[in-house]
Amino acid sequence: MTRSNAGDGTAFSAPAKKALGQHFLAEQLYIDKIVGSVDPRPGDRLVEIGPGQGAITLPLLRRHGELTAIEFDRDLIEPLTHAAREIGTLHIVHSDVLKVDLTELAGGGQIRLVGNLPYNLSSPILFHALDHAGAIRDMHFMLQKEVVDRMAAGPGSKVYGRLSVMLQAYCQVTALFNVPPGAFRPPPKVDSAVVRMVPREAATLGIDNPRRLSEVVRAAFGQRRKTLRNALSTVCDSSAIEAAGLRPDARAEQIEVADFIRLANSLRNE
């Protein structure tokens, strides 16, 4: 491993660990685009998931002065601390992000999440963030492009599915820009993309029972070729689907997010 000299705030190099799905961003053009998209302002509470070699961490710290980083790889903690010491205050939480209470980390306020998420854990991390959406102002994540495509897809798209509905039910999801494999060290085998997620105000969600909504959406997309009548047979019958204003012979990929919410709410007493 090599690191910056005298903590001068430059990123260091470290071998990527395949078991942790590490691909470190190295291209300055995309680093600048991510930092510009986040655009930190005074008073923001920035939290980065998986800072890696500090490619995004250090520029954000230089812009903002303070940042909390959640890092699982123990070998990266000391060089991160060293690289950051002359440019700002870096708080490092050594933990699996799925075990971090993001609401507690927000301390009664709201945090802004940033991260180049490990591709093998992106969906669990996204749903973990949703569990703490009330404590999050916004999220800027880099993931596989195909995952971002699914996140932002609308009804009728071939990639519109459970991830699309569940994320859009709670957040405004906007795909920002793509990042090619060559921007990373080592380069992944797929394209990446950066996405912005802004949690909706709790009062505007209109979701009576989050667990029931999850059940309905999971069942609806469990077998995409099936009609709602068949896919939801273990959740409700055709009359309940019709009562919610939906056609039992429709398929899940044709249904708007708001319609899934309305159907789930109509089943609250069953």
β-pair partners for 136: 111
Strands, E assignment, the chain: 24-25, 46-49, 66-71, 89-94, 111-116, 136-144, 171-179, 184-185, 192-199
The dihedral through the CA atoms of 143, 147, 149, 153 has a sign that is: negative
Alpha carbon separation from 102 to 64, 99, 179 (Å, rounded): 20, 9, 27
- Confirm or deny that 71 is annotated as ligand binding: yes
Query: If 0-12 CB within 10 Å is exposed, 13-18 middle and 19+ buried, where does residue 99 land?
Result: exposed
* Tokens of residue 120, six digits: 């093998």
- Burial environment of residue 264 by CB neighbours within 10 A (0 to 12, 13 to 18, 19 or more): buried
Residue 66 assigned ligand-binding role: no
* 25 in a labelled binding site: yes
Task: Give yes or no for a contact between 54 and 80, defined as CB atoms under 8 angstroms apart.
Answer: yes
CA atoms within 13 A on the CB side of 143: 26
116 is in an annotated binding site: yes
**Structure tokens that stand for 154 in this block:** 């609308």
> Letter for the amino acid at 135?
A
Do residues 12 and 4 touch, judged by C-beta distance below 8 A? yes
Annotated binding site for S-adenosyl-L-methionine: 23, 25, 50, 71, 96, 116
Annotated binding site: 23, 25, 50, 71, 96, 116
